[in-house]
Structure 1
């Protein structure tokens, strides 16, 4: 049993409690948690979005239209 109760973020090097409130789940990793803390992951995602927000928004609009068309063909779904 692993008695180490802390984990170091690979990006910011902060030592944080080894739990899901500080690290996202990663089933493939030995301890079941991602190697970067939640804050670093959020910062990374925000930077990615800020760098290419128009493309991200365009993709969301396309996905919305695709799903609306798909659901409109299903008789048991009705528009709200």
Structure 2
């Protein structure tokens, strides 16, 4: 439908300028979408060795020691 409208408008008309702008914006956003997909694919491939190397790593190595409840802090607050 839009193709027939574009063919019926005179060259240099408002609709032809709008269609050229639409084609240009489609090309720009298409290129941006392609770059985003390419970047996501690159990051996925780059992260694969990290994922497989960390797969067998236990979270036990990253544990935080439990220091318990600080009784001195509680005593200091009750004095105020």
TM-score, reference length from structure 2 = 0.34
The structure whose RCO (Cα within 8 Å, separation 6+) is larger is 1
Higher helix share: 2
Instruction: Point out the structure with the larger strand share.
Output: 1
Quick check: which has more Rg, 1 or 2? 2
TM-score (norm 1): 0.34
